[in-house]
Structure 1
Amino acid sequence: MDSAPFIGSDLAWDAGFTGEGITVAVIDTGTDYTHPDLAHAFGDYKGYDFVDNNEDPQETPPGDPRGGSTNHGTHVAGTVAADGAIKGVAPDATLLAYRVLGPGGSGSTENVVAGIERAVQDGADIMNLSLGNTINSPDWATSIALDWAMAEGVVAVTSNGNSGPNNWTVGSPGTSREAISVGATRLPYNVFTSEITTSEGVEYPSAKVMGFPNEDELLALNEGEYEFVDVGLGAVSNFEGKDLEGKIALIARGEFAFVDKATNAKNAGAVGAIIYNNVAGEHPDVPGMAVPTIKTTLEDGQNLLAELEAGNNTVSFDIEFAYEVGETVADFSSRGPVTGTWMVKPDVSAPGVNITSTIPTHNPENPYGYAALQGTSMAAPHVAGAAALVLEANPSWGVEDVKAALMNTAEDMINPATEKVYPHNTQGAGSIRVLDAIKAETLVTSGSHSFGKFVKDTGRQVEEQSFTIKNLSGERKRYSFDVEFTGNPDGIRVNTSNNLNVHGGKTQQVQFNVQVNTAKLEPGYYEGTIKVSDGSVIIDVPTILFVGEPDYPRVTGALFGKEDETNYYVGSYLPGGAEVLAYDMYLLGPGNTIGGFLGTIGEFSNVPAPVHEFTWDGDMNGTQLPNGDYVLAVYVEQAGEIEYRAYLVTKN
């Protein structure tokens, strides 16, 4: 309700573009096509279920012995094309659902690839994949499949992943060379200060607003004095036998999600919650909590418990507006670059925090519901819906045109912590603006560029690149170019045309090169922006280059499982290969820690990227290792870097 208008969807609707005639494939956990907000978007053919191999791609219901029920795909579909209590970005688009993730929301790479292929064959114009893994490789099967989908003329949109905020955390298929990878943002919001008071002389200096359903409910806490009740961890059982009606729930952090604690408090009748930490320090803000929630440190939480023990069981609040924060990138949103191609990812960003959309309730008495979720899974369908509006408005555009329009017209976001523009590998080209993309008169493709690695120890190295300018207007435009690298580092020089005349409706290629003197530059990556101007509009094209060997993770995951009755497959994902590779087995210690060393089960050298695998017979020091949980540690030496990463595995 807030996010679609924020990116300009309502302006596109007013201009006459609602997604009519455009088909969007939702490749996910299935979709509840009977939901009243979604039923209009489905025809007789709903899509395909690759989990159960039929033409009924419904969500997984409760009671499936293979795993839990799902609602993810329905939520994604609602953001694309709902038209009811929720209005999606493209409310008149046609939907197809492909269930590739089954019970519990898990699935196989094979099914995801099959879903991509079927969506292309079924004539989808756009596909959305709010799914992925943590493998930072452009050559993983799902990434390659999206490259092919784009080559077949289908606009492929995918989530960038939820493993941020560190660099190199983008996972496949967000690593695709061609698809539109999407990061998540939080809509502008107001920040409030908070003070809580119990009895005279007791202070709680750490009290801060953690989250709330809306500002009215938050500020309503100022209106009186409330009883507060200790409910431990805030589980449903902790509320049993306690009267919370109109009161404040005092809750400890731990064991399960903050949002569930707040929801349990609301269901018990509480009007607010105070959640105190279970360790030293401050816990995170969580937008969209079911009740207004204040957070405190462990020390202040213990003081509140002491007040209750002393019979002082009332609390009052003083909550005031402090300032507004603009659109920001979510901390959880995965960052680039991509290993191997060294590309900037995400390509663009869109709202992905506290997004309310459609879900199945799996309750026959009240089957259709709504929920607020967050993740790059919620951001991607905003872009898929936007692509539908752009395609409807510009039916002759190809997939590169749609991608370029969304990237070229995106808005930069400012990090409030630094008061500087977010890096390209955090926000991509920026936050999408639908109507601007629809009305673009110039398209610059590709929408971002990587010059790759400059590895010479001394002297100069030159790399060439090119991009294409398409003048969509009816008149000749004169373009000028400027390239700026962050910090204006000495040692990087870019040469390109000073000016270029392009006639209306024509396309021209622009050649440019970068000369890097590595002797003047510290190893690392350098971000820049190519500014293309027609005299009135400036298009920013993100670019990046690396000096020296990039600091990408040398190992990004492990493989372990039963190969046959007597053997096991063991392996790892190696973005750059490995000069030295070893697999060590440890006992599993208390609290999922690393226990005693058992031995090395495999040693290898000069292993190529991106995947290594071998067969192990289960033998450890001359005897069969008993079945159970263990820690598999992978040792990698590559290009002067050493990594040693541990993974929980089960031998059975």
Structure 2
Amino acid sequence: MRRYFSRVFLILVAFALIFSTFGLNASAKGGKTQTKLTEIPIAELHGDIELSSSRPTTVIVELKEESIIEAKHKGKKQTKAKLKTERDKVIQSLKKAVKAADVNREYDYVFSGFSVDLPANEIMKLLAVSGVKAVYPNIEYQADVVTKKEISTEEFSPNMMNSAPFIGANKAWETGYTGKGVTVAVIDTGADYTHPDLAHAFGSYKGWDFVDNDADPQETPKGDPRGEETDHGTHVSGTIAANGQIKGIAPEATLLAYRVLGPDGRGSTENVVAGIERAVQDGADIMNLSLGNTLNNPDWATSIAMDWAMAEGVVAVTSNGNSGPNNWTVGSPGTSREAISVGATRLPYNVYTSILSTSNGVVYPSAKVMGFPTDEELLVLNKGEYEFVYAGLGKPSDFEGKDFKGKIALMSRGELAFVDKAENAKAAGAIGAIIFNNVSGEQPDVPGMAVPTIKTTLSDGQKLLAELEKGNNKVSFDIKFDKSVEETMADFSSRGPVALTWMIKPDVSAPGVNIVSTIPTHDPSNPHGYAAFQGTSMASPHVAGAAALLLQKNPNWGTQDIKAALMNTAVDVIDPETGNVYPHNTQGAGSIRVVEALATDTLVTPGSHSFGKFVKANGKQVEKQGFEIKNLSKERKTYSFDVEFEGNPDGIKVMLSNNLKVNAGKSQMVNFNVQVDSSKLNPGYYEGMILVNDGKQEISVPTILFVGEPDYPRVSGAFMDKAPNGYYIGSYLPGGAEVLEYDLYALAPGNTIGGYVDTLGSFTNIPSPIHEFEWDGTVQNGIPLPNGDWVLAVYVERLGVTEYKAFLVTKE
């Protein structure tokens, strides 16, 4: 039987049995000798690790000895020398206990500890080493980009960089605020500091490369045997501080690049923490982390580092993730408590209607425009009849051996992201695509597709396939302008709240769709590279650049002042489908506006509130919170307050001051209570707004609360990876699980679930956020499972809620 234990079980049982002491004189009733067990204290283990496995594992170790910055902010004295002495003691003790332990990175400034490689079944020895406070998983991060399109010099125009003027950056430049004197650290895939639009922003010291451990944080070039080239960090850098053909939000800011993501744009916690720490030590004023994973849990080591960086005065800005549009999809480090998490908006755009028909007048009523690169490329489809060719799921292999040049690729939804299907169609020579659903219902819109893409329902897709089977392989389009739409939230932008902390995320939003910026060419004879990317990665540097403008004007502002100014002055984004303001956990406080943030004379911090959950079945429950008002003006102000919860439910009452006078240049705390009578409310999510008014300006502070147990997903993903002696199978559990089971099913045609194969594992009392175990690759009666695609269904029970989700996995 697999030896899989939770931390609590290990403390109370495993160590007690191994290291127990026996009181020989103690006796139980009846004269029998009683064994006295002594609990041995061990460090906290975050995440879930198969402690019986010999799998090489990297973990992040936090020491009890406080980091330099943590100690400073607690009024204590700490030195690098003392920290090194204490850290060395722990490392020496660890190496005595675990011979195979191999220490990688050491931290002391914003995080106290080190990263270490060791067999998973030796981690319990690490937890028992004196001086260890906690052990964290080494989570994988990836650059947060949804899609990209390179732009040739012929079609490139500075006018394509329209997101900076949209948020008001150009007006800030006119008043002299360009980011001059402010240093922004880009913690990413590196940066092409030789790009003509970026060279001005880098001095002799460019930053640091944590992938190759040198002082050259250049992007991964073509031909690197470890993986694909990168360009993400250069694009982010251009959005912040380009000053050439592209002009970034803060064109005169100084940049530092920290390469923590290597080939393929992938990296891990140990390098991200090292990048944060070095950026703070190098004197950065702002740091941008356009990276993430899909775990809706605080990635503790990274969060600790970012939180202390904020405390030290470095504004930390991070992307919220690209897993929208459902709630609870925000990923780490967007889940951070202190950093500014950023969602992505789409700039105002045109909407088109579409009529799709094939030979003999067969029409497809469900056809709608899903997405397109430009209006011009979309309208080209009106010019004639086109042959369409079936490309299955749109995998690269589905295009092999077929001629798609100048044709339309017909594809089914499933397995690949919509944007990847469109990219593959473009690579094959197609000028457009039709994607039909694989289940009933309508598919989402996806702005910025690589080729003009039409979406249909499953039934219309099957009708298209039937016509193709008959030889009717020509399709025509009638696409017409319908209306213009103002700024909207991008469907891909991840939504909050954060599981377990229940915080609103994102904090703010910014443009993140079709953002044109710099990319490397790795060709000195043609250095001007540009591309249109989309993702929350593109939104985050807009906020980092805006923060640079604010810091130039207000060099004495703290990090929370910058965050508050951006949140307090953000504007509501309206959902065109409903005409209503998007929910707080979709847009945060709203879309940033630079001029308004520069001009504000009141700051309300924090800029949002979560009252958490109220679970009393009967009676009233009261929670206390507060916020600070800073009067930045030169005159005394009187502030009034109002609180509105959507629908004005009877069971929620917020009590705070009626009026408050704050002298010029002073600040004052406002304490308030929220009283919830759960007996008068249905279980669920409630959002409201605290309105702070000085007679001239009204500041809206978003707030949320939950009645009953929140409906966060009990399982948010699953995986099957090759292991030395079989396979690692696991899942992502935001809140852990009381009961967890893995069932394997066959994959049926059309990407549906086929017959039941076997239950691969059953477990209880699993902590968050990751669970995994080893599987030998066989099913019932020891039969080896053939390689190929399968369905892994994960059953979870947690706090009275059950969930059963199916995921496509591949056995190789």
The one-letter amino acid paired with 1:510 is: V
* 1:384 aligned counterpart, secondary structure: helix
Q: Distance in 1 between matches of 2:797 and 2:365?
A: 48
Deviations 1:345-402 (A, max 9, x none): 1100111111111112456764542111111111111111111111111111100000
Q: Distance in 1 between matches of 2:196 and 2:638?
A: 51
Q: Distance in 1 between matches of 2:634 and 2:740?
A: 62
Of 544, 549, 561, which residue of structure 2 is paired with 1:401? 561
Contact 2:178 2:549 in 1 (8 A): yes
The one-letter amino acid paired with 1:398 is: G
Q: Distance in 2 between matches of 1:169 and 1:492?
A: 27
Q: Which residue of 1 aligns with 2:676?
A: 516
1:127-166 aligned at under 5 Å gives the runs 127-138=287-298, 140-166=300-326
Q: 1:325 aligned to 2:479?
A: no
Q: Which residue of 1 aligns with 2:665?
A: 505
Deviates more, 1:350-359 or 1:483-492: 350-359
1:199-348 aligned at under 5 Å gives the runs 201-219=361-379, 225-233=383-391, 249-254=407-412, 273=432, 275=434, 277=436, 279=438, 283-289=443-449, 292-295=452-455, 297-298=460-461, 301-302=464-465, 305=468, 309=471, 315=476, 318-348=478-508
Of 582, 588, 608, which residue of structure 2 is paired with 1:428? 588
Q: Distance in 2 between matches of 1:41 and 1:433?
A: 24
1:333-372 aligned at under 5 Å gives the runs 333-362=493-522, 366-372=526-532
Query: Relative to 1, partners in 2 of residues 1:37 and 1:462: Cα closer, same or farther, differing over 3 Å?
Result: same
Q: Distance in 2 between matches of 1:115 and 1:207?
A: 47
How much does 1:25 deviate?
0.8
Q: Distance in 1 between matches of 2:584 and 2:379?
A: 37
The one-letter amino acid paired with 1:597 is: D
Q: Which residue of 1 aligns with 2:803?
A: 643
The one-letter amino acid paired with 1:390 is: L
Superposed CA RMSD: 3.6
Of 6, 27, 31, which residue of structure 1 is paired with 2:187? 27
The one-letter amino acid paired with 2:562 is: V
Q: Distance in 1 between matches of 2:522 and 2:741?
A: 44
Q: 1:103 aligned to 2:263?
A: yes
Deviates more, 1:127-136 or 1:616-625: 616-625
How much does 1:585 deviate?
6.5
Q: Distance in 1 between matches of 2:779 and 2:481?
A: 65
Q: Distance in 1 between matches of 2:322 and 2:187?
A: 18
Deviations 1:528-574 (A, max 9, x none): 100000001100000111111112233445688799x7799877654
How much does 1:240 deviate?
9.0
Q: Distance in 1 between matches of 2:273 and 2:241?
A: 24
Q: Distance in 1 between matches of 2:379 and 2:565?
A: 41
Q: Distance in 2 between matches of 1:420 and 1:440?
A: 26
Of 614, 625, 639, which residue of structure 2 is paired with 1:479? 639
How much does 1:294 deviate?
4.7
Deviations 1:190-209 (A, max 9, x none): 11223467777454544433
Q: Which residue of 1 aligns with 2:121?
A: none
Q: Distance in 2 between matches of 1:599 and 1:368?
A: 53
Q: 1:71 aligned to 2:231?
A: yes
The one-letter amino acid paired with 2:408 is: L
How much does 1:133 deviate?
1.3
Q: Distance in 1 between matches of 2:313 and 2:544?
A: 14
Structure 1 vs Structure 2: percent identity of aligned residues? Answer: 66
Contact 2:290 2:536 in 1 (8 A): yes
Q: Distance in 1 between matches of 2:372 and 2:780?
A: 59
Query: Relative to 1, partners in 2 of residues 1:85 and 1:232: Cα closer, same or farther, differing over 3 Å?
Result: farther
Contact 2:566 2:592 in 1 (8 A): yes
* 2:291 aligned counterpart, secondary structure: coil
Q: 1:385 aligned to 2:548?
A: no
The one-letter amino acid paired with 1:453 is: K
How much does 1:298 deviate?
2.0
Q: Distance in 2 between matches of 1:519 and 1:433?
A: 41
Deviates more, 1:282-291 or 1:460-469: 282-291
How much does 1:163 deviate?
1.2
Deviations 1:109-165 (A, max 9, x none): 111111111111111111111111122123532222211211111000011111111
How much does 1:36 deviate?
1.3
The one-letter amino acid paired with 2:491 is: D
Q: Distance in 1 between matches of 2:771 and 2:466?
A: 54
Q: Which residue of 1 aligns with 2:653?
A: 493
Larger gyration radius, structure 1 or structure 2: 2
Of 754, 761, 766, which residue of structure 2 is paired with 1:600? 761
Query: Relative to 1, partners in 2 of residues 1:213 and 1:340: Cα closer, same or farther, differing over 3 Å?
Result: closer
TM-score, with normalisation over the residues of structure 2? 0.71
Query: Relative to 1, partners in 2 of residues 1:99 and 1:627: Cα closer, same or farther, differing over 3 Å?
Result: farther
Q: Which residue of 1 aligns with 2:167?
A: 7
TM-score, with normalisation over the residues of structure 1? 0.88
Deviates more, 1:530-539 or 1:628-637: 628-637
The one-letter amino acid paired with 1:273 is: G
Query: Relative to 1, partners in 2 of residues 1:150 and 1:568: Cα closer, same or farther, differing over 3 Å?
Result: farther
The one-letter amino acid paired with 1:517 is: D
* 1:333 aligned counterpart, secondary structure: coil
Q: Which residue of 2 aligns with 1:81?
A: 241
Deviations 1:27-84 (A, max 9, x none): 1111111111111111111111111111111111222222211111111111111112
* 2:564 aligned counterpart, secondary structure: helix
The one-letter amino acid paired with 2:533 is: L
How much does 1:619 deviate?
10
Q: Which residue of 1 aligns with 2:703?
A: 543
How much does 1:278 deviate?
6.7
Deviations 1:423-466 (A, max 9, x none): 10111000000111111100000000111121111111111110
How much does 1:279 deviate?
4.5
Contact 1:567 1:615 in 2 (8 A): no
Contact 2:399 2:428 in 1 (8 A): no
The one-letter amino acid paired with 2:436 is: N
Q: Distance in 1 between matches of 2:786 and 2:264?
A: 23
Q: Distance in 2 between matches of 1:408 and 1:136?
A: 26
Q: Distance in 1 between matches of 2:785 and 2:206?
A: 44
The one-letter amino acid paired with 2:409 is: I
Q: Which residue of 2 aligns with 1:467?
A: 627
Contact 1:277 1:301 in 2 (8 A): no
Contact 1:253 1:278 in 2 (8 A): no
Contact 1:569 1:613 in 2 (8 A): no
Q: Distance in 1 between matches of 2:784 and 2:490?
A: 43
Q: Distance in 2 between matches of 1:494 and 1:189?
A: 40
Query: Relative to 1, partners in 2 of residues 1:566 and 1:94: Cα closer, same or farther, differing over 3 Å?
Result: same
Query: Relative to 1, partners in 2 of residues 1:326 and 1:511: Cα closer, same or farther, differing over 3 Å?
Result: same
Q: Distance in 2 between matches of 1:183 and 1:63?
A: 33
